[in-house]
């Protein structure tokens, strides 16, 4: 298992349902980002997940697959599988139900599996809509979910996910204060060096995704430089 994931400061999330040129992939892989997460919410299959994996694997960066559901779980050719449980949903499928389905796979490699406790806070995001997350919670409530994930369920990662919008740094700060053991990830709306630097004050690892597609690799480079 790749054991350095706890030290990553910057990771880049690539969506198998979106297109990048070979040159763009090369720039991303050599940007200084610590790892690549292959992940998306809509239209994700083993086929397009595997295709993206094959495009990026030659660069030698740590590769993480974060499946949206059992249908997009891939083990071959990757370092880690991040599996999310959404803390702030009433729909148990997204806490444990979907996990039962992929855990029936006889080829599962448990040494590669890292559980994530997701706190989803953008109601207009695909992940918010699909999972039925309660995105109206306060910072205090978000911190309570994080504390339960860290101290009770022992999740190694707590992930504050604003997916597509820049979140409230004060909420991320409250979540950070509630965690003693888990690594805190933040993702959502980081499309400048300034925003990257702000969220790095509270999160251990920032995730840059949509900015790669919306603003280009130059913006990604700015975010890498802001946290290095």
Q: What is the pLDDT of residues 159-209, one digit of tens each?
A: 999 998 999 999 999 999 999 999 999 999 999 999 999 999 999 999 999
Q: Are strands 113-120 and 80-86 parallel, antiparallel or unpaired?
A: parallel
Q: Do 20 and 28 meet the contact criterion of CB atoms below 8 Å apart?
A: yes
Is 98 marked as binding a ligand?
A: no
CA–CA dist 1, 79 (Å, integer): 6
Is 161 marked as binding a ligand?
A: yes
Is 202 marked as binding a ligand?
A: no
Q: Which domains does the chain have, with CATH numbers?
A: 4-227 (3.20.20.390)
Q: What is the pLDDT of residue 1?
A: 45
Q: What is the mean pLDDT of residues 29-57?
A: 85
Is 60 marked as binding a ligand?
A: no
Q: Dump pLDDT digits (tens) for 15-35.
A: 888 888 999 999 999 999 999
Does residue 3 register a pLDDT over 70?
Answer: no
- Compute the half-sphere exposure of residue 12: CA atoms within 13 Å on the CB side of its CA: 30
Confidence of residue 78 (pLDDT cuts 50, 70, 90): confident
Closest CA to 142 of 187, 172, 165, 106: 172
Tokens representing 8 are 């990553």
Is 152 marked as binding a ligand?
A: no
Confidence of residue 41 (pLDDT cuts 50, 70, 90): low
Residues of the chain above pLDDT 90, percent: 70
Is 51 marked as binding a ligand?
A: no
């Amino acid at each position: 298992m790749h054991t350095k994931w706890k030290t990553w400061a910057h990771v880049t999330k690539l969506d198998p349902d979106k297109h990048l040129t070979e040159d763009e992939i090369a720039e991303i892989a050599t940007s200084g980002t610590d790892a690549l997460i292959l992940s998306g919410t809509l239209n994700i299959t083993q086929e397009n997940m595997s295709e993206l994996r094959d495009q990026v694997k030659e660069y030698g960066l740590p590769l993480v697959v974060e499946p949206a559901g059992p249908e997009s779980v891939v083990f071959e050719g990757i370092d880690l599988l991040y599996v999310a449980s959404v803390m702030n949903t009433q729909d148990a499928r997204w806490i444990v139900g979907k996990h039962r389905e992929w855990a029936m796979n006889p080829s599962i490699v448990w040494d590669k599996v890292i559980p994530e406790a997701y706190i989803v806070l953008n109601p207009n995001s695909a992940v918010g809509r699909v999972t039925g997350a309660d995105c109206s919670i306060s910072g205090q409530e978000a911190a309570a979910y994080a504390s339960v994930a860290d101290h009770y369920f022992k999740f190694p990662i707590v992930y504050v996910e604003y997916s597509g919008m820049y979140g409230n740094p004060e909420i991320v700060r409250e979540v950070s204060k509630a965690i003693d053991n888990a690594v805190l990830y933040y993702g959502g709306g980081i499309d400048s060096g300034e925003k990257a630097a702000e969220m790095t004050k509270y999160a251990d690892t920032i995730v840059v995704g949509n900015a790669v597609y919306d603003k280009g690799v130059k913006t990604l480079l700015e975010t890498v430089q802001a946290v290095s």
